[in-house]
Amino acid sequence: MRLLTHNMLSCNIKGVTNGFPLRIEVEKSMEKEVDFNIDFLKSIFSKVEWTALVEAARSLGYNDLPEEVVDSSTMLESSDFLKKFHHALLELHLEEGALICPETGRRFPVNKGIPNMLLHEDEV
Amino acid sequence: MKLKQLEGLLGNLEQFSCPKIELEQYPTSAHIASRMLFSAEKTFGDVTGKVVADFGCGCGTLGIAAALLDADYIVGVDIDAQSLETASVNAEDMEVELNLMQCDINNLNWRGQFIDTAIMNPPFGTRKKGADMNFLSVALKVATRAVYSLHKTSTRDHVKKMALRDCDATSAEVLCELRFDVPQLYKFHKKKEVDIAVDLWRFVPPKDQERVVKTFSPHQ
């Protein structure tokens, strides 16, 4: 599971209001190189919840993202920043582990890189 | 890429090894998938460079077709773990990136406005009434640009009414009528292979809606 996917996901249990971001529990992570696509990075940037991405990357052992992006238009011209953003968003993978709801502590398992967001009957 | 090339590549994908009738798992043929994605891109520019979601992705045929047409990021969602595993193998074989997730479409909870285009071959709602409309309703909430979907031609009026009236779609248009070959997958099928007439739809989601995905299940 890439961190862009993680950035979209929030806990889907009925009644949960603060289900984002899901905390990451890592058993196994990996890195996989993908092509660098500047236009994509620039267009997706404004949709990404930055703090959630920073924390998620950190939980996978990647600490090079800046805590905050103050001046995004300048940052998005910096190739150094874009490379780090690219790496965190698209190249880090959670292979085995879990996503934990910040409100309820519910564990959503991740196996073979696929998060399982199926709910139990009493959670729908 | 040419249409024939796309169809040829999709023809190599593995399909459901033991399809589950309660989920109405019918493979999306290479013929249909290639035409669906090809017209989405060539006529409307809804695929290349876009973020695409494949709802009820099954073995990943539509998502992989989007990837072959250079979508930037593709998320495939299915309720069935076995199908997702096949989708994952298929993506690897085709050397494309699919981001897969196991979830019931009715309980999807995504934040942000990441998805440009949703593509899907939803259950026809034959076994579970309303399943098709639930898929459509969720897709119209998640996608910001367009939704492509297949529905039985016999339900055309109903689909149009639901999309425009209940889901506030900006437009609902049948692009073409296709033949959906349903091979004899299940015991209750008496004939070896039947053709079902299906419509390929393009819906435009409501503008400026608040994009919070809430479950909307008119038939539950």
Q: What are the tens digits of pLDDT across the range B97-148? A: 999 999 999 999 998 899 999 999 998 877 677 889 999 999 999 999 999 9
In the structure encoding, which two tokens stand for residue B76, read together?
């495939």
- B23 in reach of chain A (CB within 8 A): no
User: What is the helix (H) or strand (E) element at residue B75, kind and residue range?
Assistant: strand B73-78
CA distances in angstroms from B26 to B36, B48, B136, B181, B191, listed in the order given:
16, 26, 18, 9, 15
Residue of A nearest to B74 (CA): A5
Are B109 and A39 within 8 A, CB to CB? Answer: no
- A109 in reach of chain B (CB within 8 A): no
> Picking from B48-52, B108-112, B202-206, which range would have the lowest pLDDT averaged per residue?
B108-112
Q: From the list B49, B101, B111, which residue is nearest A39 (CB)?
A: B49
Residue at token pair 């910040």: A102
- A30 in reach of chain B (CB within 8 A): no
CATH number of the domain at B52, please: 3.40.50.150
Q: From the list A19, A49, A116, which residue is nearest B102 (CB)?
A: A116
d(CA B154, CA B160): 12
Domain of B196?
Answer: 3-204
Residue of B nearest to A123 (CA): B107
Are A47 and B114 within 8 A, CB to CB? Answer: yes
Would you say residue B217 has pLDDT above 60? no
Give the closest residue to B43 by CA, choosing from B208, B154, B175: B175
- Identify whether B218 is part of a domain: no
Chain A residues with CB inside 8 Å of B102's CB?
114-118
The count of structural domains within chain B is 1
b/e burial code for range A26-55 (CB count within 10 A of at least 16 → b): eeebeeeeeeebeebbeebbeebbbebbbb
d(CA A44, CA B75): 15
Fold of A3-111: N-terminal domain of TfIIb (2.20.25)
Size (chain B), residues: 220
Are B109 and A9 within 8 A, CB to CB? Answer: yes
pLDDT, tens digit, 9 for 90 and up, residues A54-113: 999 999 999 999 999 989 999 999 999 999 999 999 999 999 999 999 999 999 999 999
Residue of A nearest to B75 (CA): A5
Q: What is the pLDDT of residue B28?
A: 85
d(CA A41, CA A63): 19
- Identify whether B216 is part of a domain: no
Are A12 and B103 within 8 A, CB to CB? Answer: yes
d(CA B122, CA B133): 9
CA distances in angstroms from B209 to A63, B136, B160, listed in the order given:
36, 16, 19
- B104 in reach of chain A (CB within 8 A): yes
At B26, the pLDDT band (50, 70, 90 cuts) reads confident
Which whole number is the average pLDDT over B10-37? Answer: 85
ipTM of the complex, rounded to two decimals: 0.95
Chain B residues with CB inside 8 Å of A112's CB?
85, 88
Residue B51, strand partner residues: B73
Would you say residue B186 has pLDDT above 70? no
